[in-house]
Copies of this chain bind each other. A is one copy, B any other.
Amino acid sequence: MTDDALQRLLDEIAARMADETERGTPAQYIPELAKADVGRFGIAVAPVSGGVTAAGDADLPFSIQSVSKVFTLILALERVGGGVWQRVGREPSGNAFNSIVQLEHERGIPRNPFINAGAIVIADLLAEGRGVEETVDEILAFLRHVSGDAAIDIDPAVAASERRTGHRNVSLASFMAAEGNLKGRVKDVLAVYYRHCAIAVSCRQLAAAGRFLAAAGAAGCEQVVPAERARRLAALMLTCGHYDASGEFAYRVGIPAKSGVGGGILGVVPGIAAVAAWCPGLDARGSSLLASRAFEILAARTGWSVFATRAG
C-alpha cells in the first residue's frame, strides 16, 4: 500500500468515526479519565519502513493506561528473562480485567501480564532493588527511546486520580503479597504501576513506539528485542490484549493489539506496521468502541489480519 493510499484510508476512517453517534462512555472509575471528550478520534500507522501516517486527532495526548503494560513487560523480560513466567501466566483470563477470583483459585499467580494483577507483578519485578523514581524513569526513558520522542511524560493529575481511587488495585496487590508473589511494598509497587499507566501519548507517538514490535524487534539498526520475543509478544497481545474480549477482537480484527481504558489501542502487524487508534468512549468490556471499530475497518481494507492469506 502506498503512503498516499494509506493516508486516504486513514482519512476515510477518521471521517466515518467522526460521524458515529454511538461513541461509548469514558472510564468512570478514574475521575480524571471520566472528563475525556468522546468526540475525539485519532489514528496513526507507523510502517516498518519508517515515517508515520496519521488522521484525526492523532496528535492529541491521551492516557496510555493498560497499553503501557506491553512496554513494562518488555523491560521485565529484558531484566529477568524467562523468570517472569514463574510469577505470571500466559493464558487468557476469561475474567474481567480486575477480577480477584482467579487469583484465589490459582494461589496468587495472575493469568497473564496484561490483566491488572499481572501488570502489578511486572511493576514489582521492575522495581526490585531500585526506588520508585528510578523505575518510572526507566519506563519513561524506554518509551521515549523507542518512539523517538523525548517529550513523552506522565500526566500527574491522572496518576494522582488513579492512586486516590485505586482500592481494587490495592486489594489485588495485597492479595498477591499475602500469597508471596509480591516482593516490594504494596505502596511502592502501585506507585510505579499508577505512574506508568498515567503516561500521556498521542496516536502518532504510540504507533512510532510500537513500530519495532512489527519489525521483528528492530528499530532501524538497533535490535530492541530479539525477533522471537517480538513474535511472542504479538501472540500474547492477540490472546490476552483485551481482557475478556480478546477472542472477539481476534475474531473480528485479527491484529495483535493491546487496549487501555484511556481509549487507546496499539496494534502490531508483523512485518508491516504498528497502528495506534484512540477515542475515549469505551464499550461494556472496557475497550474503546470506535478505536476497535477503526481497527476492524482497517483490517478489512488492508488484509492486515495475521490470519489473512498474505501473498507470500
Give Cα A250 to B89, complex, Å: 13
Give Cα A107 to B101, complex, Å: 12
Q: Is the CB of A91 within 8 A of B307?
A: no
Give Cα A83 to B182, complex, Å: 37
Interface residues on A, range: 35 or more
Of residues 224 through 250 on chain A, the ones whose CB sits less than 8 Å from some CB of chain B are 227, 231-232, 234-236, 238-240, 244-248, 250
Q: Tell whether A95 is near chain B: CB-to-CB under 8 Å.
A: yes
Q: Is the CB of A250 within 8 A of B239?
A: yes
Copies of this chain, tallied across the complex: 4
Q: Tell whether A175 is near chain B: CB-to-CB under 8 Å.
A: yes
Chain B nearest Cβ from A184, distance in angstroms: 12
Give Cα A167 to B89, complex, Å: 22
Interface centre among A89, A93, A174, A252, by most B CB within 10 Å? A174
Give Cα A305 to B95, complex, Å: 27
Q: Tell whether A99 is near chain B: CB-to-CB under 8 Å.
A: yes
Bitwise, A287-312 to B at CB < 8 A (1) or not (0) is: 00000000000000000011111111
Q: A305 contacts which chain B residues (CB < 8 A)?
A: 231, 235
Q: Is the CB of A104 within 8 A of B94?
A: no
Q: Is the CB of A178 within 8 A of B167?
A: yes
Q: Is the CB of B104 within 8 A of A99?
A: yes
Q: Tell whether A39 is near chain B: CB-to-CB under 8 Å.
A: no
Q: A272 contacts which chain B residues (CB < 8 A)?
A: 312
Give Cα A170 to B172, complex, Å: 10
Bitwise, A89-118 to B at CB < 8 A (1) or not (0) is: 111111100011111110000011000000
* CB nearest neighbor in B for A227: B309
Among B172, B239, B246, point to the contact of A171 (Cβ < 8 A): B172
Give Cα A246 to B251, complex, Å: 15
Q: Tell whether A214 is near chain B: CB-to-CB under 8 Å.
A: yes
Of residues 251 through 298 on chain A, the ones whose CB sits less than 8 Å from some CB of chain B are 251-252, 254, 256, 270-272
Bitwise, A181-218 to B at CB < 8 A (1) or not (0) is: 00000100000000000000000000000000011100
